[in-house]
A and B are shown apart, each in its own frame.
Chain A
Amino acid sequence: MIVDRLEKPLSSKVDLSDERMFKKLFVGYFAPLCVFAQKYVGNFNDEDIVSSVFSNMYQKKLTFNSHDEFVFYLYKSVKNKCLDTLKADSRMTSRNQFYSEELEQDNLFNQIVENETLAETYREIQSLPTYSKRIIELSYFEGFSNQEIADELQLSLQTIKNYKRNAVASLKTALLKKILSFLFF
């Protein structure tokens, strides 16, 4: 997660030549930026666009004076690349053209706020303890029953149930509670 307190300063420098910092930022921002890019280019080459923007920033070893500055640069680069891709697409219909012109005028600051509000929940899930996360993956995404998870992870059935309950409790977002509880109880 990026913010867990309002007062927490985000003025610290971002230095992409720092291997560990780059990795952390990449893991936290890759998926949210892909979803952001999908608004423009659909889910066809969103990953490649985001990946190439990160690659570019990594190779140039860019540094930023604050986290906000980094995030703004990142989103702006992805957005520009998306718009370029749209414009370069020769098959583009006039409807798309209209659409891209409309999108170009969108307020980037608000777009970032919107996407990052969601991204924080995503990072919340990613930051769950390994076992809770693994159990969520197995049950929520792979459809394993409690017994199958217990067998897979060599844990007792009761432990699995407890882990699930705790995982749901820690994902405070109402949305996730709603979706997860459907499978858990």
Chain B
Amino acid sequence: MKKNIPQSPTIYQLVFLIRKAKKEGLTDAEQTLLNEWLSQDAKNLELYNKLLSEDYPRKMKEMLTKDAGAHYRKITKATRIRKIVRRLSYGSVVAAASIALYFIFAPLVSEQTDDSITPAEGESDLITLRTGAVREDLTVHADSVYEVTSLMKEGTMQALVARVKDEPITIRTPIGKTIAFKLQDGSTVYLNSSSQISFQRNFEHEDERRVSLNGEAFFIVSKDKTKPFIVENNGNEVKVLGTSFNVNGYDSRSKFSLGLATGKVEVKIKELGYAKTLTPGYEVTYNKSDGSVVQRTRDIARIGLWRTGVYTFEAMPIVELTKDLEQMYPIHFVFDGPMPEELFNGEIVRDDDWKKVLNKLEMTNRVRFEVAGDKVVVRRHEEENEKNN
């Protein structure tokens, strides 16, 4: 007997199935239909898993801010001269689209404004490279990926390279600057601002590829099964064979976190004797102050997104958020009185003026800032008090 060949699902059947799977789960018949599509191509499965684990909040915000009304009027007006319905009952349908968002900062095209961001006193505002006793200031473009060897060949370093060839190399970034470079094994490192990383120039004679990091970096590790790539951060270790992931661990902060974009990594937290293998789309955060380890899903597209000059934060208390801002801008925060308990979500374009960023945060009506030079006093926004005054 000839069986009916099951038909491939249509676009909206798939949309329906994916949304239902996400919300409440599928019936057997629905699952069969979905499996038909999933089995057609590995890319389908990849997309399905992505849609299941991600919510695309930024895209949703974008959609909700679009004003279809103006464009609709333009199109229909150009075609039909007389019959313009001014009443536009439809206006209410698109009204939601025209309203500004206040707690997610849309990454609008950033204009280069005045130079109100200046480096803090006494801190070098240049990216530096050290090896042995030699130190070099580097001038790099944010969008380029450099070969470490080419960085070293600049200026005085060149003459001294031979003498210090066994010394590890340390690269350090100041507030607000980032650098991307390739290690000798072909792995790429994106070093975020206020961070420092050390590594051997050449891994050829090593059993492993070990780098030590204080700060935040995104790694795209080239495959080499014989030599594991290890990121050491304040006693914690991340061990990988070939993958891309983000490590955030500043010595001065109580948080260590690891987000995985592709591949598989093993994370070891020494103080806890904790070791875990992580799969893509997950982030593990270890809080040194209370010893807690939290694993949560993370939008893969957002892991290491800071590389593109966009800083995103999710469910972040104000105290943590301001620490991040201190790493990006030459300002420091002082806290006055109780802090808001609400958690903040959002996105900041790094090139934005920090005053603009603070203004946006104030628009949440949860927090107030008082700026005096490079000092910023943070207070909880007290609605009642302001009304009484």
Residues of A within 8 A of B (CB): 2-3, 5-6, 10, 23, 26-27, 30-32, 34-35, 38, 42-44, 47, 50-51, 54-55, 58-59, 67-68, 71-72, 95, 107, 109-110, 112-114, 116-122, 125-126, 130, 133-134, 136-137, 141-143, 145, 172-175, 179, 182
Q: In the complex, A42 Cα to B349 Cα: how many Å?
A: 14
Cβ contact of B19, chosen from A34, A35, A54, A117, cutoff 8 A = A117
* B62 is an interface residue with CB less than 8 A from chain A: yes
- Interface-side segment among B64-72, B130-138, B191-199, B321-329: B64-72
User: How many Å from the CB of A3 to the closest CB on chain B?
Assistant: 4
Contact between chains at A27 and B109 (CB < 8 Å): no
* B74 is an interface residue with CB less than 8 A from chain A: yes
Contact between chains at A23 and B90 (CB < 8 Å): yes
Contact between chains at B62 and A43 (CB < 8 Å): yes
Contact between chains at A3 and B44 (CB < 8 Å): no
* B121 is an interface residue with CB less than 8 A from chain A: no
Q: Which residue of B lies closest to A71 (CB)?
A: B11
* B5 is an interface residue with CB less than 8 A from chain A: no
Q: How many residues of B contact A (CB 8 A)?
A: 59
In the bound complex, residues from chain B placing their C-beta under 8 Å from that of A110 are 43-44, 47
12 contacts between A and B (CB under 8 A): A23-B90, A27-B90, A31-B64, A58-B76, A58-B79, A110-B47, A113-B18, A121-B60, A126-B94, A142-B100, A142-B102, A182-B342
Cβ contact of B96, chosen from A54, A120, A126, cutoff 8 A = A126
DSSP majority for the B interface?
helix
* B295 is an interface residue with CB less than 8 A from chain A: no
User: How many Å from the CB of B94 to the closest CB on chain A?
Assistant: 6
In the bound complex, residues from chain B placing their C-beta under 8 Å from that of A26 are 68, 71-72, 75
User: How many Å from the CB of B296 to the closest CB on chain A?
Assistant: 12
Residue of B16, B78, B342 with highest tally of chain A CB at under 10 A: B16
Q: In the complex, A42 Cα to B59 Cα: how many Å?
A: 12
* B294 is an interface residue with CB less than 8 A from chain A: no
Q: Mark B40-78, 1 if CB is under 8 A from A, else 0.
A: 000110010011000111011011101010011011101
Give the contacts of B341-382 with A (CB-CB under 8 A).
Answer: 342-343, 345, 363-365
Contact between chains at A59 and B74 (CB < 8 Å): no
Give the contacts of B188-229 with A (CB-CB under 8 A).
Answer: none
Cβ contact of A141, chosen from B18, B57, B76, B99, cutoff 8 A = B99
In the bound complex, residues from chain B placing their C-beta under 8 Å from that of A51 are 71, 74-75
Contact between chains at B15 and A116 (CB < 8 Å): yes
* B92 is an interface residue with CB less than 8 A from chain A: yes
In the bound complex, residues from chain B placing their C-beta under 8 Å from that of A6 are 13, 16-17, 20, 30
Q: A47-B66, A130-B92, A141-B102 are in contact. Are A2 and B15 (CB under 8 A)?
A: yes
Q: Which residue of B lies closest to A48 (CB)?
A: B71
Contact between chains at A179 and B345 (CB < 8 Å): yes
Q: A34-B62, A110-B44, A137-B99 are in contact. Are A116 and B75 (CB under 8 A)?
A: no
Closest 7 A/B residue pairs (Cβ): A175-B55, A31-B66, A30-B68, A141-B99, A31-B63, A51-B71, A3-B16
In the bound complex, residues from chain A placing their C-beta under 8 Å from that of B64 are 31, 122, 125, 141
* B293 is an interface residue with CB less than 8 A from chain A: no
Contact between chains at A117 and B68 (CB < 8 Å): no
Residue of A3, A5, A27, A172 with highest tally of chain B CB at under 10 A: A3
Contact between chains at A172 and B96 (CB < 8 Å): no
Cβ contact of B72, chosen from A30, A35, A174, cutoff 8 A = A30
